[in-house]
Amino acid sequence: MKILVDMNLSPLWCDVLRGAGHEPRHWSEVGDPRAPDDTIMEWARASGSIVFTHDLDFGAILWATRASGPSVLQLRGDEVLPSVVGTLVNDALLRFQAELQSGALLVLDQNRSRIRILPLG
């Protein structure tokens, strides 16, 4: 899967995701670090990428716009380093691959995961 790693997550995520067979790009490689979230969403949609973020705004954008894509993987909690939750994220990407490829919001923390099919609302 193509995955766009948001600025609020470490570029180290790209190595972890690539190691699991994904095609990650960190936003700092492809766009302005100060770009608004809707610009990031549009780039992800155009490139067929899933947005991987720690930012709640992406879910809110999906809700407000009733968009059918791009998919968003929202990592919740205080621990967001790949050394701590990398296996959790890669397992969730595998488990919810079909939903994410079709359009979904996946909210993931160390205790549970919740998936919502797009569009929301």
Q: What is the pLDDT of residue 121?
A: 76
- Determine the Cα–Cα distance for residues 104 and 120; give it in Å rounded to an integer: 9
Mean pLDDT per 10-residue segment, the chain (121 residues) = 97 98 98 96 98 96 96 96 97 98 96 95 76
Half-sphere exposure of 81 (CA within 13 A, CB side): 2
- Indicate the pTM of the whole model: 0.96
From 80, 76, 77, select the one nearest 106 (Cα to Cα). 76
- Per-residue DSSP letters for 17-35? HHHTT-EEEEHHHHS-TT-
The residue ranges of every structural domain in the chain are: 2-117
Tell me the per-residue pLDDT of 25-40, one tens digit each, with 9 for 90 and over: 999 999 999 999 999 9
- Determine the Cα–Cα distance for residues 33 and 45; give it in Å rounded to an integer: 18
Q: What is the pLDDT of residue 13?
A: 98
